[in-house]
Structure 1
């Protein structure tokens, strides 16, 4: 009987890392699992080429500078239609092998800032011209929340005013701790910035209830970062895929060894090479024989749709 050579997790990581390299991401000196997680984080920023439902905060339109109104609405239209947001990201966004270049606002609270230029830079045409005013959004798989336009000089990166604005508009995006009435140590906005750089989570934030003005304690749902700074949500997503592929690999190997029909097909071969294959247009992924292209498994779930 043929020996089954299959490494679905390695195939997945190779495809993800190769995709990252093909779009110019800097991944040198990262092991495959960490490189994969950071590519997942990057793809979550760019929008995954998927159309999005747009949800505006109550005072979003008032925050738009008059001179940049056309730029903002043009960018919103691109977000809605699933256009790649890479040109509007920070230039550090493609440097994934340097922890000092982390976007801690995104990694911690899931809030992404976008530049509002219209023309591409002459020296670096991958990015549009940088602007002082920035669009702050909260991107999800199928929707994007438009928070506000802030100026770069406002230095809001670690300020809880952002979380306050999220609560005032979409309290469902936060977890409220009803059993907490105070913290042993008050964490200032400056403290939070230093803690992020040290890899220390300060997940609980004190803000005010917009109805009665009382102090409440909240955290962003399912967010936060690991000790080395990577978003927990992307680590969990990677682990979910790896767990699924590991289980699938055992199922397929058992199917080959136990199925009489498959046994007859491959009994003359010394090795069966099985690979993971993506057909992203049809939202499916497959495990296929590298030589005959026989399909051993097909899944139409959205688990790997982020690779689009």
Structure 2
């Protein structure tokens, strides 16, 4: 539910779970909420089986439309959003999610939206985390390429064995490639282009 709808769940028990004392004992009813850095949006108390209930997003959309607005499909010069021919039922959403398929949904006011959680990957993990991981892998590969290029002249000159281990060190606003042992360091700040996640 978190990966698809962006909604957290909270157990309403008051005692520690006997099997997992670091957790609260599970309850049949759960508080579903959206948690942001500075805000907590309590949607309501629902049954433990309501993980795919479309009404959850309907409540969020009706109560806090600013939360769903970024996930609303909008008309463009090349496309007009007319609506969905079929709005999936709760059970259909459950089956699709279980298969790693994301379902568009249409709210009662006609707006069509994607899930606020960033989506579910085909292995049922977070699609948003998968995308961030892919970006991070590309950034690490770029960093490795930059370090190898920066130190290649030292390897060619015989100042550094080709199999040396190297650290990347951030010192204030300057980034260095530092071999081990640290006999010198190479400033790679201007060569390194890693955008923020």
Q: Which TM-score tier does this pair reach, normalised by the shorter chain?
A: 0.7 to 0.9
- Is the Cα–Cα contact under 8 Å of residues 147 and 166 in structure 1 kept in the other structure? no
- Is the Cα–Cα contact under 8 Å of residues 133 and 149 in structure 1 kept in the other structure? no
> Are positions 1:126 and 2:22 aligned together?
yes
- Structure 2 counterpart of 1:197: 98
Aligned mates of 2:115, 2:127 — CA distance in 1: 12
- Structure 2 counterpart of 1:246: 141
Question: What do you get for the CA RMSD once the two structures are aligned?
Answer: 3.6
Q: TM-score, normalised by structure 2?
A: 0.72
- Structure 2 counterpart of 1:224: 119
Structure 2 residue runs of 5 or longer lacking an equivalent are 75-79
Residues 108 and 270 of structure 1: CA distance in aligned 2, closer, same or farther (over 3 Å): closer
Residues 269 and 200 of structure 1: CA distance in aligned 2, closer, same or farther (over 3 Å): closer
> Are positions 1:161 and 2:61 aligned together?
no
- Structure 1 counterpart of 2:83: 182
- SS in structure 1 at match of 2:34: strand
Q: TM-score, normalised by structure 1?
A: 0.49
- SS in structure 2 at match of 1:226: coil
Select 1:272's aligned residue among 144, 164, 187. Answer: 164
Structure 1 residue runs of 5 or longer lacking an equivalent are 1-104, 210-214
* Count of residue pairs brought into register by the alignment: 183
Higher helix content, 1 or 2: 1
- Is the Cα–Cα contact under 8 Å of residues 3 and 117 in structure 2 kept in the other structure? no
Residues 180 and 223 of structure 1: CA distance in aligned 2, closer, same or farther (over 3 Å): same
Residues 291 and 152 of structure 1: CA distance in aligned 2, closer, same or farther (over 3 Å): farther
Select 2:7's aligned residue among 91, 106, 111. Answer: 111
Residues 303 and 137 of structure 1: CA distance in aligned 2, closer, same or farther (over 3 Å): farther
- Which protein is bigger by CA-based radius of gyration? 2
Which protein, 1 or 2, shows the higher relative CO under an 8 Å CA cutoff with sep ≥ 6? 1
Aligned mates of 2:32, 2:169 — CA distance in 1: 36
